[in-house]
């Protein structure tokens, strides 16, 4: 599933192509994805101008000039691609098409149909059921060691599981949690509450750094993900531990990266460096 860097990369591509543009035509080619499309979805959007494209956690937020907001999630395999000029031939699983009066267009393709698009309103967006309760953005000013420590207080779950909890911090997923914990030298099995304090002071900048570097690299392409312009992401070439089971640790050079399963997800770490 695309994580924060992938969604942010897509957001930036969509913003360049669509912000300030008026939607001349919106096509919805099936009744549902993970959930049904809102009633009259295409009709509600047609004729509206896109004033901003933002991100909250792993959600894309497409704000229109009447205050309506398209809340979109890429799911496991969804991709948003953009272009200009003539529309390309329809491909299998092209479920939603946005055409602007000025020429640029965007297409949402999702062969597994685990993505979604629903509507909210800018005035009540934070209270929307999909967004309510989501924790602080890890690249925002409100995310620091003190905030993270408070969120982890009393949590007996492993720190890996705690960081995947979107109420603790927004947008993190399996890849970047493994990478951040390695940089912070924290074992993924450590009890979350024990990370509060000094360890949180190492973990917060590690999270920020790995996300910033991943965004700069266009995200990570492991299977389905592509950037909005169709290019692959490249951060997978910079992984230190994720998907590196059996390789020598790049930090200590003494032991091999291990893989364990936590909450039905693979976790990668160095048993010597991470405590």
Note the pLDDT tens digit of each residue in 76-112: 889 999 999 899 999 999 999 999 999 999 999 999 9
Burial class (CB in 10 A: 0-12, 13-18, 19+), 132: exposed
CA 109 – CA 274 distance, rounded (Å): 39
Active-site position among 22, 185, 208, 265: 265
Whether 3 is catalytic:
yes
- The pLDDT of residue 226 is 74
Query: Is residue 224 pLDDT above 90, yes or no?
Result: no
- Give start-end residues of each CATH 3.20.190.10 domain in the chain: 4-127
Residue 115 CA: distances (Å) to CA of 18, 72, 139: 20, 7, 24
CA 145 – CA 125 distance, rounded (Å): 27
Contact (CB, 8 A) for 175 and 225: no
At the top level of CATH, which class does the domain 4-127 belong to? alpha beta
Whether 2 is catalytic:
yes
Q: Hunting for tokens 């942010």 — which residue is that?
A: 8
- Segment 162-189 shows an average pLDDT of 97
The total of other beta-carbon atoms located within 10 Å of residue 127's CB is 11
Record the pTM.
Answer: 0.94
The kind and range of the H/E element at 41 are helix 41-45
At the top level of CATH, which class does the domain 145-269 belong to? mainly alpha
CA 138 – CA 4 distance, rounded (Å): 9
Q: What angle do CA 263, 264, 269 make, to 5 degrees?
A: 75
- Give start-end residues of each CATH 1.10.8.50 domain in the chain: 145-269
Q: How confident is the model at residue 270 (pLDDT cuts 50, 70, 90)?
A: very high
Active-site position among 11, 21, 58, 240: 58
Q: How confident is the model at residue 245 (pLDDT cuts 50, 70, 90)?
A: very high
**Distinct helix (H) and strand (E) counts, the chain:** 6, 10
Tokens for 218, please give them. Answer: 């266009």
Whether 58 is catalytic:
yes
Q: Residues in the chain, how many? A: 275
């Amino acid at each position: 599933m695309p994580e924060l860097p992938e969604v942010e990369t897509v957001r930036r591509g969509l913003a360049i192509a669509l912000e300030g543009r008026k939607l001349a035509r919106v096509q919805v080619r099936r009744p549902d994805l993970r959930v049904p499309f809102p009633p009259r979805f295409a009709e509600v959007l047609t004729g509206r101008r896109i004033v901003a494209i933002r991100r909250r956690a792993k959600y894309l937020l497409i704000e229109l000039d009447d205050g309506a907001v398209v809340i979109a999630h890429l799911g496991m395999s969804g991709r948003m691609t953009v272009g200009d000029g003539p529309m390309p031939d329809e491909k299998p699983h092209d479920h939603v098409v946005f055409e602007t009066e000025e020429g640029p267009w965007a297409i949402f393709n999702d062969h597994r149909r685990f993505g979604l698009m629903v509507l909210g309103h800018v005035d009540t967006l934070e209270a929307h059921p999909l967004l309510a309760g989501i924790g602080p953005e890890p690249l925002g000013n409100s995310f620091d060691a003190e905030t993270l420590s408070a969120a982890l207080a009393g949590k007996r779950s492993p720190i890996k599981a705690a960081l995947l909890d979107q109420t603790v911090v927004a947008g993190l997923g399996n890849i970047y949690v493994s990478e951040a914990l390695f940089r912070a030298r924290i074992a993924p099995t450590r009890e979350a509450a024990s990370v509060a304090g000094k360890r949180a002071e190492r973990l917060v900048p590690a999270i920020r750094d790995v996300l910033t570097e991943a965004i700069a690299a266009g995200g990570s392409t492991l299977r389905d993900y592509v950037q909005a312009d169709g290019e692959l992401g490249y951060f997978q070439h910079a992984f230190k531990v994720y998907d590196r089971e059996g390789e020598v640790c790049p930090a200590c050079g003494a032991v091999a990266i291990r893989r364990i399963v936590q909450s039905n997800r693979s976790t990668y770490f160095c048993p010597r460096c991470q405590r």
